[in-house]
A = this chain, B = another copy of it.
Amino acid sequence: MLPSMVEALLRGEGAVQRRALAKAITLLESTLPDHRAQADELLTALLPHSGKSLRIGISGVPGVGKSTFIETLGLHLIGLGHRVAVLAVDPSSSVSGGSILGDKTRMEKLSVNERAFIRPSPSSGTLGGVAEKTRETMLICEAAGYDIVIVETVGVGQSETAVAGMTDMFVLMQLPNAGDDLQAIKKGVMELADLVVINKADIDEDAATRARAQITSALRIFSQQGRALVWAPKVIQLSALQGDGVQRFWDEVLAFRNSQQAAGELAARRQHQALAWMWERIETGLKQAFREDAQVKALLPGLVKDVEQGRIAASTAARRLLDAQGN
């Protein structure tokens, strides 16, 4: 089954490839151990063919206009000859449900375009799990020839960090509101941004200009410390609804990619991301095995109570549990 799936993904056309893509993603998202082993085999087979896309992360609060912007951008890029995959990281989607319908109806024209592939967030629970599936889906889309991958997130909890950790460029969309930028600074999202887009700039131009000045000065302070930057993060204004500024946005993306590539930063960033991803999965796996250990399960409730009620020091409890695991 796997060789034919690999074949259909790499060289299939139209509906054939699309079906293989859907099947492969279903395999990745399966929790059956047997499926997981097949998924790993599939990933290893496809990996040499992946990595050729430009990976763009786009974050912003609900209402900032992400879907409208991604639809406009996606159609624009398809017009330029690209194939565009849109993935989502939304750890809350398992609660809210129905995000498949959501994404596809919100991007009406893009979702029916043959050269686009839209996949809602996997709904497997934790952010780490959701991010892992999205990363793997991205690799498969790349192997299938999608040369632009857009990963969107609404910014629940740490999801921006996860998306910035799997993309080449991280774009933060902001409304022209005072305070919106301070929220982003506070949450540590601003410093992840390679590009900040102030959307709906047409509604209140003065506010947009003020926001742009504020964000620019904030970004300048961030970049003063830390590593010497090849790329100084920029701020642009646009109106996704009017289709205004999409080409300018794309010019900035290409300028970013070129400067990063020339400096060897793009490859370095991906290598760093892959290793960080490996360690993140290892940590998650270690914690899961710990929590599922029979001895740990037997001792944990009592020790938690002892720690809560001050009968045993937390570090002593930790050492006892670690000693108990597997014994």
Contacts and interface: CB of A to CB of B under 8 A. Distances in A.
Contacts of A278: 303-304, 307, 314-315, 317-318
A87 to B, nearest CB: 16
Given A275-B307, A289-B322, A281 B312 contact: no
B44 A316 contact: yes
Contact of A40 (B51, B218, B319): B319
A317 B285 CA distance: 12
A277 interface: yes
B314 A274 contact: yes
Contacts of A36: 319
Interface string A173-187: 000000100110110
A139 interface: yes
Contacts of A50: 310
A229 interface: no
A179 B275 CA distance: 34
Main secondary structure of the interface of A (DSSP, over half): helix
Interface in A284-327: 285-287, 289-290, 303-304, 307-308, 310-319, 321-322, 326
How many subunits of this chain does the assembly comprise? 2
Given A185-B185, A191-B186, A44 B312 contact: yes
B47 A132 contact: no
Interface in A72-106: none
Contact of A286 (B43, B313, B319, B322): B322
A47 B311 CA distance: 7
A222 interface: yes
Interface string A90-129: 0000000000000000000000000000000000000000
Contact of A51 (B139, B281, B304, B310): B310
A121 to B, nearest CB: 17
Nearest to A272: B308
B274 A321 contact: no
